[in-house]
Amino acid sequence: MKKIVFAAAAALAAASPAVAADNNFKAGDVMIRARALNVMPDESSSMNIADNVKLSNSLVPELDATYFFTPNIAAELIAAVSPHRVSTKAGVDAADVRLLPPTLTLQ
């Protein structure tokens, strides 16, 4: 029988050891989690733009799903959208941007 496991960010400290200890995943099982993601852009540039530009950090909710091919091999897809404000170091707003950092990992 296929199994779907949900873990919430609010109970991450308590849920993660329980989920990890379960280790009874079978091919076709799916684990879905909600977590927090902190995106902290690097302001470096080879064109000296970084001396004048500041990017805001963004703490956002993140959703991921893990699909198990075997009990020991899985693929995890992470999805989140993080908004950032681009401004000059003098405090002038330059732009509002959104980053979509999707990540697919083989575990």
Reduce the secondary structure of 9-54 to three states and give it as a string: HHHHHHHHHHHHHHCCCCCCCEEEEEEEEEECCCCCCCCCCCCCEE
Which residue ranges form the domains of the chain, and what is each CATH number?
Answer: 4-106 (2.40.160.20)
Residue 31 has pLDDT above 80, yes or no: yes
Residue 11 has pLDDT above 80, yes or no: no
The mean of the pLDDT values for the chain is 74
Nearest to 41 by CA among 107, 95, 104, 106: 95
User: pTM for the full model?
Assistant: 0.59
Confidence of residue 13 (pLDDT cuts 50, 70, 90): very low
pLDDT digits (tens, 9 = 90+) for 35-83: 888 887 776 555 555 557 777 788 888 889 999 999 889 999 988 888 8
